[in-house]
Homo-oligomer: A and B are copies of this chain.
Amino acid sequence: MANLFASIPAKIDAEVFEALLTRANVRIERILSHGQSTPEQTWYAQDEHEWVAVLAGCGILQFEDGTEVKLCKGDHHNIPAHVKHRVKWTDPDTVTIWLAVFYPA
C-alpha cells in the first residue's frame, strides 16, 4: 500500500488492517473503518504504546474508565501500553482512515 489515501476498497465489511512498516522497534499500520466498532465489552490492551491519528472520517475511542475521545480528520491521540480501549463508533457515512504507530513501552 504505497499511498495512505489510495487502495480504499469500495465496500468495507470488516475493519481492514494493513502494515506499512514492521520493524523491531516500531510498527506502523493503516486501519480502515466504515461504521465498524469493536464488539461491546471487548477491549484492546496491548504491550506497546500506540499513537493514533485519523486522516479521514471520524471515530470515537472509548476507555475502560468511561472517558471517550472523538477523533476526526487530523486529530491524534496517544494510548499508553496496557490501557484498555475500544473503538466505540466510526462514521457510517464515509471511510475512516486511521494511522497507528505502535512503539515499545
Please determine whether B74 and A49 come into contact, CB atoms closer than 8 angstroms: no
Contact A51 B21, CB 8 Å, known A3-B75, A4-B76, A76-B4: yes
Secondary structure dominating the interface of A: strand
Residue of B with least CB distance to A103 = B26
* Most chain B Cβ neighbours within 10 Å, of A28, A49, A99, A103: A103
Please determine whether A74 and B26 come into contact, CB atoms closer than 8 angstroms: no
Answer whether residue A73 sits at the interface, using C-beta atoms and an 8 A cutoff: yes
Contacts of A73 in B (CB 8 A): 3, 5
Name A residues whose Cβ lies closer than 8 Å to a Cβ of B. Answer: 2-6, 20-21, 23, 25-26, 28, 49, 51, 53, 55, 73-76, 78, 99, 101, 103-104
